[in-house]
């Protein structure tokens, strides 16, 4: 059923819970895990007053993506086949394109738990992937810390 799983990551802490689920699925189905991070080439800060050149933005994004992929891949047990990938573009389109091109059977990704204005302004990559993916998407909530005021 699941031969190849995709774990997209932006390097955030929420990815830890997604890794646990991907590892469990990979073990249960003897699946390979593909780890992907996208170098977001949309420089939101490129303007005369922002002072961040497009090249500097992409370089910083590439470094972040490389670290994110390494961190996730290193958290996958050695006996699980792991593929590492870094793509340039916009996260939603690159995640869904990679899933299709690599023939993955499911995507396992974290949610950040943003709500209200943050979600409206920043959008939700996970939500957009769920809506546009041709394969099942398992969304994993970021774990809340004990004593978190939002905890029920």
Compute the average pLDDT of residues 61-84. Answer: 96
The verdict on residue 102 lying in a domain is yes
- Number of domain units in the chain: 1
pLDDT at 56: 80
Nearest to 99 by CA among 65, 64, 129, 66: 129
The verdict on residue 147 lying in a domain is no
pLDDT at 150: 46
The verdict on residue 150 lying in a domain is no
The verdict on residue 126 lying in a domain is yes
Q: Tell me if residue 90 falls in helix, strand or coil.
A: coil
CA angle 62/12/89 to nearest 5° reads: 35
The verdict on residue 10 lying in a domain is yes
pLDDT at 42: 76
CATH classification of the domain holding 72:
3.40.50.620
The verdict on residue 45 lying in a domain is yes
The verdict on residue 152 lying in a domain is no
Judged against a pLDDT cut of 60, whether residue 119 lies above it is answered with no
Token representation of residue 61: 């994004």
Q: Quick one: what percent of the chain has pLDDT higher than 70?
A: 78
Q: Where in the sequence is the domain holding 136, given as residue range(s)?
A: 4-141
pLDDT at 44: 60
pTM, full prediction: 0.84
Give every CB contact of residue 94 below 8 A, 6+ residues apart in sequence.
Answer: 36, 38, 87, 88
Measure the CA–CA gap between 51 and 54, rounded to whole angstroms. 10
For 54-95, where are the E strands, in sequence order?
Answer: 82-89
Q: What is the dihedral of CA 143, 130, 89, 109, to 10 degrees?
A: 30
pLDDT at 149: 46
Least-confidence region, from 2-11, 33-42, 50-59, 83-92: 50-59
The verdict on residue 85 lying in a domain is yes
């Amino acid at each position: 059923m699941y031969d190849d799983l995709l774990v997209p990551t932006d390097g955030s802490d929420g990815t830890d819970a997604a890794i646990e689920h991907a590892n469990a699925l990979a073990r249960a189905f003897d699946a390979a895990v593909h780890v992907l991070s996208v170098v977001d080439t949309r420089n939101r800060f490129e303007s005369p007053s922002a002072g961040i050149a497009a090249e500097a933005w992409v370089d910083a994004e590439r470094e972040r993506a490389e670290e994110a992929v390494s961190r996730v891949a290193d958290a996958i047990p050695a006996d699980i086949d792991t593929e590492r990938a870094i793509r340039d573009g916009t996260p939603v389109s690159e995640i869904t394109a990679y899933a299709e091109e690599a023939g993955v059977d499911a995507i396992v990704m974290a949610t950040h738990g943003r709500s209200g204005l943050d979600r409206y302004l920043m959008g939700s990559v996970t939500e957009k992937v769920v809506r546009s993916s041709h394969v099942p998407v398992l969304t994993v909530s970021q774990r809340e810390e004990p004593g978190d005021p939002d905890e029920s």
